[in-house]
Amino acid sequence: MTTQERSRPAIDAAERQMLEGWLDYHRETLAMKCAGLTDAQLREASVPPSEFTLLGLVRHLAENERGWFREVLAGEELPPIYGTDEDPDGEFHLTDADTWDEARTTWLAEIEAARANAAKVALDGLSVGVGKQGKPFSLRWIYTHMIEEYARHNGHADLVRERIDGATGE
């Protein structure tokens, strides 16, 4: 596996820098888990017949970045990137046309939009949009949830990567 430096937040960072730092660390971890693989390897299912792949996972997290930071936090009305009414989990259902370049570009664009939207809101600030509970969320809650989302899925990515080429690591 290609190794790259990931930036850990300082152990004495202020709360916002700590939350942003850990979220970026987990974003970098996912990128590291995908680094150096071919499109074919990124499409390799974890345990057939499961459709869970690293490419699908990146697409899933692009959807999460969009959902939490653009739709909920900023109140933007956007369609899903990959899902449809007929296939709400479309990010995991890959076609021959789906590529790493497109998924990575989309994911990175959603991360940049997330950072821009979050920069406008205090940690205790509430979202413009609401989630399924019908209530707004604080930016602090969204950061904490996204750290959890990435950390959980990075554990999945560890297992998928090890299955693909035997690479392990933190």
Average pLDDT of the chain to the nearest whole number = 94
The pTM is what? 0.94
Q: Tens digits of per-residue pLDDT, 119-158?
A: 999 999 999 999 888 999 999 999 999 999 999 999 999 9
Tokens of 107: 């994911």
Calpha distance 150→67 (Å, rounded): 14
Buried b (16+ CB within 10 A) or exposed e, 92-113: bebeeebebeebbebbeebbeb
Q: Tens digits of per-residue pLDDT, 4-27?
A: 678 888 899 999 999 999 999 999
Tokens of 8: 């850990």
Identify the DSSP state of 9: P
Q: Is residue 54 within 8 Å of residue 161, measured between CB atoms?
A: yes
Q: Is residue 51 within 8 Å of residue 93, measured between CB atoms?
A: yes
Calpha distance 53→98 (Å, rounded): 12
139: closest CA among 72, 78, 76? 72
Other Cβ atoms less than 10 A from the Cβ of 15: the count is: 10
